[in-house]
Amino acid sequence: MTNIWQSLKLAGLVLLAAGSLAGGACAQSGAYPNKPVRLISDSAAGSAIDVGLRIIADGLSQLWNQQVVVVNQPGAGGAISARVAAEAPPDGYTLYAPALSVFLTLPGKAPNLPVVLPRDFVPIGFTAQQPMSVGASPTLGVKTLPELIALAKQRPGELSYGVSGVGRLTHLTGELLQLRAGIKLQRVPYTGGSSHALADVIGGRIPVVIEGYAGLEGAYVSGQLKALAIASPDRLASLPDLPTVAETLPGFAAAGWQVVVAPVGTSDAIVRQISADLRKVLLRPEIKDKLAVRGGFVRPMSPEEALAFVAGEQKQWQPVLERVAQELK
């Protein structure tokens, strides 16, 4: 009898231990994250994109009670950051927040780019977008985008427009505008950023500028620059009187944006949790307001929506990239 009791007691201890282990495993799997999370960025520290990303990272840190550390890895058109992120363990503790330029790259500009989802990374969600805008010098005498297009058709190749660098979104937006409107403009690239282009438009040296709305807002409000249209899909609630480019050229949209992705092999459970938590953070009024002040408008997405969005952007911009590549040969 004693032997039987001892055997039953031992079996009970084994079952209890197994249950404890199983419970511990479940607790561990449900405790993500239980240590700091790295969020790799292809943008330079202090840039507009970096500032916005840090606002989101702080929101996640508060939600998770774990620090989310933004790690800046700029350079090589985004290739450096992409390599570092891709080589990280797929455990959810290294995430990657690449900007649109990592997905829309001129052929041969940078190795291993453009990034393709889900081949290179697992999509998690979307952060915010910064719509581009078309502005004109008041001396040009146009008040709307249709008027600018009509004038450009009368004077093909004569009107110049300022952009922030060759191959960047400002340049690509100008090329897309010409392609869709059937016009020819003269590109003037500025390596010093939007402030240099803005100074020349205000000074009357060039008539048109294409840049993110946030970078030109002050000049628009002061009347130094006439806002013709914004390239968001719909009119912004904060700018109800500013028409979209799409109202003149249906389907036209151009905005800077970021998605959050993870190394290939990251578990679906972790991806879903991060996506849901990212949505919670983005929809917080204080986060939305902080980003809006900096020209960013939140647009939460599921992993599937983010994947479809990036694929759609790459499809839309491919003819423009090919056109630019031909011009630069």
Single-letter code of the amino acid located at 181: A
> By the 8 A CB rule, do 291 and 57 touch?
no
Location of structure tokens 């805008």: 133
- DSSP codes joined into one string, 119-179: TTEEEEEEEEEEEEEEEE-GGG---SHHHHHHHHHHSTTT-EEEESSTTSHHHHHHHHHHH
Q: What pLDDT score was predicted for residue 193?
A: 64
271: its two tokens? 């991806």
Question: Model-level pTM greater than 0.85?
Answer: no
Q: Which CATH architecture has domain 131-247?
A: 3-Layer(aba) Sandwich (3.40)
User: Using CA atoms, how far apart are residues 106 and 211, in angstroms rounded to an integer?
Assistant: 19
Run of H or E including 49: helix 48-64
Q: Is the CATH code 3.40.190.150 the one for domain 37-129+256-328?
A: yes
Residue spans of the domains in the chain: they are 37-129+256-328, 131-247
Strands (E), 1-99: 37-41, 68-72, 94-97
For the stretch 260-307, pLDDT in tens is: 999 999 999 999 999 999 999 999 999 999 998 878 889 999 999 999
Q: What pLDDT score was predicted for residue 49?
A: 83
Segments of the chain with pLDDT less than 50: 1-29
> By the 8 A CB rule, do 103 and 115 touch?
yes
Q: What pLDDT score was predicted for residue 10?
A: 42
Q: What pLDDT score was predicted for residue 192?
A: 63
Q: What pLDDT score was predicted for residue 109?
A: 73
**Does 131-247 match 37-129+256-328 at the fold level?**
yes
